[in-house]
């Protein structure tokens, strides 16, 4: 990277930290407001103290957040200018196809990191055709896309489906372009648990478990879940879900309340959610054109990296997934 680039990266990281802190405060205040909400059909007189101050505080925090976002955009532009390639500009097309697991991450992340340090490549079209996958690999790829987008513009494109974890990764890009009939969204988390206890009993199989704690075999297929364990798993699923909501809200420039309107787990045709879940509709060439306009080039060199999907994807045991539910059943494995 060129000289002075780290001072821009440091400044961006500081601003991101400040913006995240304010966003958390706003979320807390919004939740507090919801807890104090009184339905319109309640006839009791309620006196709310301090509501004006609370409203002023929310406004002040929103103004601070807007100012931090403008500063962040400015520094990001400066950082990208430092990384503009000299001579002919190359646009890289990086495919993410199929279900996403650790092997997908192991294949994609090194490519994106290499591109970040390649001075001849000006930007990336991330070609996503995926219904999602495992939480960890999805979040690792998303984080790498976000970092790359700080120094080089990334445009996400899908021609068929970018759902759940696939869409999670897409919101890390600067813009999302999709075929009008591509399916996007499926914002949500699903947890799959096998309960084969009756099957074991019917076949005369007795399982003896030696464990160091009451939860060490939580989620094991040889027994059901206790109510306490169900509550713990629900809390974990909700934590993943809140992270997903925050990623979409930040990446798409929508409030959390707006984001929640699309967080029902379903997908939409891209043409029906233009301006919200996607920026524009078009084909792969149009996505390249949009990126070229960002880079201010008219005839870039195009390099397409080889796409690699996980051929061994399977769902073993109990686990949380960022996966469109239609794709769960075919990949359930019992051993």
Decide if 122 contacts 93 (C-beta within 8 A).
Answer: no
Interatomic CA distance for residues 323 and 315, integer angstroms: 11
164 is catalytic: yes
Interatomic CA distance for residues 281 and 131, integer angstroms: 19
* DSSP characters over 59-119: HHHHHHHHHHHHHHHHHHHHHHHHTPPSSS-EEEEEEEES-B-HHHHHHHHHHHHHHHT-T
Decide if 91 contacts 284 (C-beta within 8 A).
Answer: no
Q: Which helix (H) or strand (E) holds 167?
A: helix 165-170
Q: Three-state DSSP class for 209?
A: coil
Joined together, the tokens standing for residue 292 give 């070229």
φ, ψ of residue 20 in degrees (nearest 5): -65, -40
Q: Three-state DSSP class for 123?
A: strand
The residue annotated as part of the active site, out of 55, 216, 255, 333, is 216
62 is catalytic: no
Interatomic CA distance for residues 48 and 56, integer angstroms: 15
Nearest to 333 by CA among 311, 303, 310, 313: 313
Q: Which residue is associated with the tokens 């019917």?
A: 202
The residue annotated as part of the active site, out of 76, 146, 164, 310, is 164
Compute the residue count for the chain: 335
**Where does 190-306 have alpha helices with state H?**
197-202, 227-252, 256-261, 284-295
- The catalytic site residues sit at 164, 216
């Amino acid at each position: 990277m060129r000289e002075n680039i780290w001072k821009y990266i440091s400044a961006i990281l500081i601003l991101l930290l400040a913006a995240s802190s304010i966003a958390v405060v706003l979320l807390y205040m919004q939740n507090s407001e919801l807890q104090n909400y009184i339905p319109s059909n309640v006839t009791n007189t309620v006196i709310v103290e301090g509501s004006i101050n609370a409203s002023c505080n929310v406004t002040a925090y929103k103004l601070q957040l807007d100012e931090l976002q403008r500063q962040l955009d400015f520094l990001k532009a400066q950082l990208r200018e430092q990384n503009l390639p000299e001579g002919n500009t190359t646009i890289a097309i990086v495919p993410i196809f199929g279900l996403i697991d650790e092997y997908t991450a192991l294949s994609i992340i090194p490519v994106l990191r290499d591109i970040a340090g390649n001075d001849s490549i000006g930007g990336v079209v991330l070609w996503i055709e995926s219904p999602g996958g495992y939480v960890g690999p999805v979040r690792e790829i998303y984080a790498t896309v976000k970092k790359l987008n700080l120094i080089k513009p990334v445009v996400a494109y899908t021609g068929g489906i970018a759902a759940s974890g696939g869409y999670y990764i897409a919101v890390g890009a600067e813009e999302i372009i999709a075929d009008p009939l591509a399916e996007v969204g499926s914002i949500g988390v699903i947890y799959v648990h096998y309960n084969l206890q009756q099957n074991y009993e019917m076949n005369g199989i007795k399982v003896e478990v030696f464990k160091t704690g009451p939860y060490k075999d939580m989620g094991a297929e040889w027994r059901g879940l206790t109510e306490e364990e169900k509550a713990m798993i629900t809390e974990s699923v909700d934590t993943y879900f809140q992270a997903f909501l925050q990623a979409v809200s930040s990446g798409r420039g929508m409030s959390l309340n707006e984001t929640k309107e699309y967080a029902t787990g379903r997908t939409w045709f891209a043409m029906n959610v233009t301006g919200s879940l996607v920026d524009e509709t078009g084909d792969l060439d149009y996505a390249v054109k949009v990126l070229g306009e960002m880079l201010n080039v008219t005839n870039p060199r195009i390099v397409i990296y080889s796409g690699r999907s996980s051929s061994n994807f399977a769902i073993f045991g109990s686990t949380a997934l960022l996966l469109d539910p239609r794709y769960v059943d075919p990949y359930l494995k019992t051993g």
